[in-house]
Homo-oligomer: A and B are copies of this chain.
Amino acid sequence: MPAPTSIRLPARSSAAVEDYLERILELINTKGYARVVDIAQSLKISQASVTNMVQRLDAEGLLKYEKYRGLALTTAGEALARNITRRHQLLTDFLKLLGLDDDVIYHDVEGMEHHISPPTVRAIEALTEQLQRHPALLVKVRKDIDEN
């Protein structure tokens, strides 16, 4: 039996962790890499704060980080990143159907995305699909909104 070394608990990821992972994946997908300075600029957070979080994510096994060099998401980190990205995209698509402004959508999605559990994700997915198939109802919704 191996020695009972320090066990790393699952560590339920916070909104901040999800925002970092989501942005890191996006940077990697668009420019091929995610440096501390890129993450900082993109999230409008100081480089020092990013360094701190990146080291924490490394310690939690969500990415591998080499000091002064670069970082790469681990399988676990990428899974989390894809998951939060899916929630972000879904909520954006959904609110877009309702005719809301992009700024409002972005602001609200950025907050809400951290609070929808898997069943709710599936339900909103199903609703979004049905609404896309039946635009008549959306026309009425938008009219109601305007009359307000």
Q: Which residues of A contact B (CB under 8 A)?
A: 95, 98-101, 104-105, 107-108, 110-112, 114-117, 119-120, 122-124, 126-127, 129-131, 134, 137, 140-142, 144-145, 148
Contacts and interface: CB of A to CB of B under 8 A. Distances in A.
A141 B127 contact: yes
Given A100-B120, A104-B120, A120-B95, A141 B115 contact: no
Most buried by B among A108, A119, A122, A140: A119
A97 B107 CA distance: 25
Closest 9 CB pairs of A and B: A111-B115, A126-B144, A98-B123, A126-B141, A112-B115, A112-B112, A126-B145, A127-B141, A108-B120
B144 A130 contact: yes
Contacts of A148: 122, 126
Contact of A122 (B115, B120, B145): B145
28 contacts: A95-B123, A98-B120, A98-B126, A99-B123, A100-B119, A100-B120, A101-B119, A104-B117, A104-B120, A105-B120, A108-B115, A108-B117, A108-B120, A110-B115, A111-B112, A112-B112, A112-B115, A115-B115, A123-B141, A126-B142, A126-B145, A126-B148, A127-B141, A129-B144, A130-B137, A130-B140, A131-B137, A134-B137
